[in-house]
Amino acid sequence: MVDRRRAIPALVALLAVAAVLAWRLGAPSPEAQVEARLRALCDAVGKAPGETAVQAAARALSIASCFANPIEIAGEAGPFAGRHTPRELAAAIARFRAASGALDLSFTDLTVEIRPPEEATARFTARLRGGADGPDDAYREVSARLRRAEGLWLFSRFDIVRVMEKP
C-alpha cells in the first residue's frame, strides 16, 4: 500500500522537475534570441512602398526598442556614426527611411558568441537594398555587441568592420 503522505510531495517534486526541464528545453538558446533580435531590427528598418505615416511611426518605436542606452556606432557609418540615445538613432533611421522609396535590410553569415552572463557579440554581413541614393545594394561586414537587460538582448554597439565593394 502506498503512503499518500509521502507520495504526494514526491509527485509534486517530480512534476516541478519535469516542468523546469520542459521550460529549459523549450526556451530558445541565447544565440537564437540574439538572431531573433537582429531579425526584428531588420524588419523594423525595412520599408515597403506605400508605407503609411502610422506604419512608419510604429516602426520607429520598434526600432528604438532594439537599442541599449547609449548605442554607439563606429567605423564607416556615415551620418549614423557616434554615440546616440535609442530615440536619437531611431529618429535618424526614420529620416533615412522617409527619404527612401523602399528598403530591405537583411543579414547572412551570422555567428554569435555569448559571453556570460549578459553580453554577446554577433558578426554578420549586412545587406541594404534600396535607400535614398537608388536601388543599389550596399554590403557591410558588421560586428555588433549586445547586452541583456530585463530578459531582452539590446544592441549596445555596432562596428562597421569592412565596406564590401561590388565586383
**pLDDT value of residue 90:** 92
**pLDDT value of residue 126:** 94
The CATH number corresponding to 29-164 among 3.40.980.10, 3.10.450.50, 3.30.420.40, 3.30.70.580 equals 3.10.450.50
Question: How many other C-beta atoms are found inside a 10 Å radius of the C-beta of residue 4?
Answer: 9
| 79 secondary structure, DSSP code | G
> Residues in the chain with pLDDT < 50?
none
Residue 139 grid coordinates: 554590403
Identify the burial level of 161 via C-beta atoms within 10 angstroms of its C-beta, where 0-12 means exposed, 13-18 middle and 19 or more buried: middle
**pLDDT value of residue 144:** 98
Q: Can you give the three-state secondary structure of 21-37, one letter per residue?
A: HHHHHHCCCHHHHHHHH
107 Cβ neighbours under 8 A, 6+ residues apart: 38, 42, 124, 125, 126, 127, 142
Beta strands in 30-78 (DSSP E): 67-75
pTM over 0.75: yes
Cβ distance 102 to 48 under 8 Å? yes
